[in-house]
Amino acid sequence: MSIKFEVLHVCKQSGARLGKLTTPHGVFETPFFMPVGTQATVKTLSVEEVKEVSEGLILGNTYHLWLQPGADLVEEHGGIRGFMQWDGALLTDSGGYQVFSLTEMRKITEEGVFFKHHKNGSSLFMSPENSIQIQEKLGADIIMSFDECPPPYETDDYMQKSVDRTIRWAKRGKDILASDQALFGIVQGGLNKDIRKYCAEKLIEMDFPGYSIGGLSVGEKKHEMYEMTHFLNPILPFDKPRYLMGVGSPDDLVENVINGMDMFDCVLPTRIARHGSALTTLGKIVIKNQTYEHDLTPLDPNLQTPISKYTKSYIRHLFKAEEMLGMRLVSYQNLAYLKHLMAEIRTAIKEDRLLDYKEEMKKKTNYFKSR
Amino acid sequence: MSIKFEVLHVCKQSGARLGKLTTPHGVFETPFFMPVGTQATVKTLSVEEVKEVSEGLILGNTYHLWLQPGADLVEEHGGIRGFMQWDGALLTDSGGYQVFSLTEMRKITEEGVFFKHHKNGSSLFMSPENSIQIQEKLGADIIMSFDECPPPYETDDYMQKSVDRTIRWAKRGKDILASDQALFGIVQGGLNKDIRKYCAEKLIEMDFPGYSIGGLSVGEKKHEMYEMTHFLNPILPFDKPRYLMGVGSPDDLVENVINGMDMFDCVLPTRIARHGSALTTLGKIVIKNQTYEHDLTPLDPNLQTPISKYTKSYIRHLFKAEEMLGMRLVSYQNLAYLKHLMAEIRTAIKEDRLLDYKEEMKKKTNYFKSR
């Protein structure tokens, strides 16, 4: 097995888990957040900067890299790590999410999915087997089973059929895996608890080294997401890492850590950064607002980083002037803040006071006000 | 006087000058190239990166900063240096070039220029006096007289009238200057040698600490530019720095250094970088070309920099995928190359072999083939 995981402590106040994930490219305390390097780059940032603002573990997207530049070219570089010169640990998704969210004219068969390229319209096919084979070429430490990611409000009937197929696909992926990469199974089932439980149990029977939860943060209400992770927490094996896919807003991170989740990724911090929204220890701010025109204080007065030297006024100017450095600085800030937040969460777990920490955060920030 | 300049050596082979420019924020060997930070940022790069790929001296644009965020806001930060956190030396232009190249509906009067904002169309006015007053707020070490920058093929009659006004404007700027910033006079006159000589002599009478040559690299032929700098070389004072504005292609740098020029700036290296054209020791390359798809060698095999670890194939992918990191890496390369080129030119001057160096460069690169 190429990864190891152990739970080091359970927060007496919240039930949240502190763990240790050992990978071929680093040992990481969980829970952690992973920046997303969709196309073998975390948008706007250099690998040196990503190193500073991450735990040393990032995610690459199989779908995008398969289409551009192609898995073979990445393999020529020794995988994504060599391609983008990333010396930390790496995770890839299966492509399933993108196949179901970006493409049109899909035809799902037992064999796999036929669909059109999301930009040029060419005909493509992805199966559980070629998802694994592509991920082997991309060479991440942790990889994902190819799954169907249906919309959250599908009928129970459709969801049951979909989950059965996802389970069969997980088995086919596991059977064809030839590398020592750690392959996770992905629990689907939308908002139906019975089907989620059924999916989780079938995957657990296959004994994956970790379990992902997919199909959340896709349009459902926040309380529905939290109910589902709370529900799955006791069902998933205690001694295996749980990866909640596509979740990365500060409030969602805290709530889902409390519900027993260990790993997170999301494009949110870098995406909102490019539109000038900054995540700070004092809450989310929109840097283009007039109120910051003459504000000579740093973006985040409580978080000392290499970008603390810039004033809000200057960063606002960069956005007004449409200068890329603005996107860089806020992307850096947002990932630095999430790294800081996760470190604080881990400390709070160790000290058995994560619920208190959440209450403090509710008072100090506006992150919990978007319900 | 806030700057000092001395010529240290004249190349016996070419006549090119090696000099030393002392400013309040650094001492620099000339000839040098200055990256352009139009809107208080060198596009796509951080100040730390600009420090690495420059001599430690950059240029800011008065026109752009006057409009956004405004000179007063920059002054609140202690000038451009505080605003963008640049700890090196700084030069600003007068705004004249932008007033004459970017705007429409201009009305030139003796008092100054009435014109429309190049984006929102609002009515604006710039005079020699307010150009200086804005530049005082921007706080550069070296600043420029407000000049008219006419197209190169204007009639002699127009050019003479324009130059007479530019000379009067230079006097007015000098008279109002209240800071100890080093104010340069700008020699105009298009392609008319008599008028250029006349303008230079009138400015020299006013005894500026340095002389700029404006109105070149604005659409004339390369040989016309070189003839003009060659012509002005013996006219300009030997012991004052000569700044050839807006020139920065590798061939133009070499040719104009041979013609006695000391200082250069241009947006070319960063502008072409954003379209994927890289300046290297082996010539200019277009990274998006198919030929680099599987090229696992660095962008510039002869120039060791922090970006040498990336393959051409990866950088090509970044451009194909429209990722900003591609623009960052090529911007870094292009400025690093110009810094390297200027260092090689200075060495060749010291060793009295700049003409030989130019011939070697002609053989090794494609820079001289664009005539």
How far is A213 from chain B, CA to nearest CA, in Å? 29
Residues of chain B found within 8 Å of residue A327, distances taken between Cβ atoms: 324
How many Å apart are CA A232 and CA A166, to the nearest integer?
18
Would you call B211 an interface residue with chain A, using a CB distance cutoff of 8 Å? Answer: no
Coil, helix or strand for A33?
strand
Shortest CA gap B368–chain A (Å):
32
* Residue A247 pLDDT grade (very low, low, confident, very high; cuts 50, 70, 90): very high
CB contact under 8 A, B39 and A73: no
Task: Report d(CA A282, CA A302) in Å as an integer.
Answer: 8
CA distances from A15 to A225, A351, B120, B145, B148 (A): 18, 12, 57, 69, 72
DSSP H helices, chain A, are: 47-53, 62-67, 71-76, 80-84, 96-101, 128-138, 156-176, 193-206, 222-232, 250-258, 268-274, 312-320, 324-350, 354-364
| Cα radius of gyration rounded to whole Å, chain B | 20
B314 close contact with A: CB closer than 8 A: yes
- Say whether A85 and B310 touch across the interface (CB within 8 A): yes
> By C-alpha distance, which of A173, A180, A145 is closest to A1?
A180
Q: What is the sign of the dihedral through the CA atoms of B125, B130, B131 and B134? A: negative
Nearest alpha-carbon partner for A162 in A188, A144, A124: A188
The residue-averaged pLDDT of A266-293 equals: 98
Nearest-by-CA chain A residue for B75? A294
Whether chain A has a CB inside 8 Å of the CB on B45: the answer is yes
Q: Please compute the mean of the pLDDT values over residues A172-187 and round it to a whole number.
A: 98
Catalytic residue among B180, B265, B300, B352: B265
The catalytically annotated residue of B93, B141, B147, B251 is B93
pLDDT the model gives residue B118: 81
Q: Which residues of chain B have pLDDT under 50?
A: none
Beta strands in A234-297 (DSSP E): 242-244, 263-265, 277-280, 283-286
Q: Do B41 and A310 touch (CB under 8 A)?
A: no
Q: Does B44 touch chain A (CB under 8 A)?
A: yes
Distance from CA of A105 to the nearest CA of B (A): 23
A17 touches chain B (CB under 8 A): no
For residues B66 and B103, give the distance between their C-alpha atoms in angstroms, rounded to a whole number: 14
In this complex, do A69 and B309 lie within 8 Å of one another by their Cβ atoms? no
Q: Report helix, strand or coil for A17.
A: strand
A74: closest CA of chain B, how far (Å): 9
CA distance A36 to chain B (A): 13
Across all residues in chain A, what is the average pLDDT?
96
Q: Which residues of A touch B321 (CB under 8 A)?
A: 39, 41, 64, 68-69
The reply to whether residue A77 touches residue B296, judged by beta carbons under 8 angstroms, is yes
Quick one: which of B176, B97, B91, B171 has its CA closest to B139?
B91
pLDDT per position as a tens digit, A35-80 = 999 999 999 999 999 999 999 999 999 999 999 999 999 999 999 9
Instruction: Please identify every residue of A annotated as catalytic.
Output: 93, 265
Q: Is the Cβ pair A69, B328 closer than 8 Å? A: no
Interchain contact A353–B (C-beta under 8 A): no
Q: Would an 8 Å CB–CB cutoff place B360 in contact with chain A? A: no
Q: How far is CA A84 from the centre of its chain?
A: 19
Residues of chain A numbered 71-110 and touching chain B (CB < 8 Å)? 73, 76-77, 83-85
- A324/B44 Cβ within 8 A: yes
Angle between helices A250-258 and A222-232 (to 10 degrees): 30
- Minimal CA separation from A215 to chain B, in Å: 27
Q: What pLDDT sits at residue A105?
A: 72
Which residues share a beta bridge with A32? A263
On the question of pLDDT at A371 being above 60, the answer is no
Q: Cβ of B293 and A64 within 8 Å?
A: no
Best interface-test mutation with A: which of B45, B84, B324, B331 has the largest number of A CBs within 10 A? B324
Whether the Cβ atoms of residue B94 and residue B60 lie closer than 8 Å to each other: no
Question: CB distance A325–B44 less than 8 Å?
Answer: yes
Strand partners of residue B90: B58
Closest CA to A365 of A289, A300, A293: A300
Q: Are strands A263-265 and A32-34 parallel, antiparallel or unpaired?
A: parallel
Q: Cβ of B295: how many Cβ atoms within 10 Å?
A: 17
Compute the distance between CA of residue B10 and CA of residue B349 in angstroms, rounded to an integer: 7
Q: Does A321 touch chain B (CB under 8 A)?
A: yes
pLDDT, tens only, B191-228: 999 999 999 999 999 999 999 999 999 989 999 999 99
pLDDT score recorded for residue B92: 98
Query: How far is Cα A76 from Cα A74, in angstroms, rounded to an integer?
Result: 5
Across the interface, of B46, B83, B320, the residue whose CB is closest to A69 is: B320
Cα separation, B115 vs B130, in Å, equals 14
What pLDDT score was predicted for residue A14?
98
Q: How far apart are CA A4 and CA A24, in angstroms?
A: 10
The pLDDT value recorded for residue A101 is 80
Whether this prediction's pTM lies above 0.90 is answered by yes
The verdict on A325 touching B (C-beta cutoff 8 Å) is: yes
Q: Look up residue A188 and give its two tokens.
A: 């689907």
| Cα distances (angstroms) measured from residue A95 to each of A62, A89, A113, A138, A185 | 5, 19, 11, 12, 14
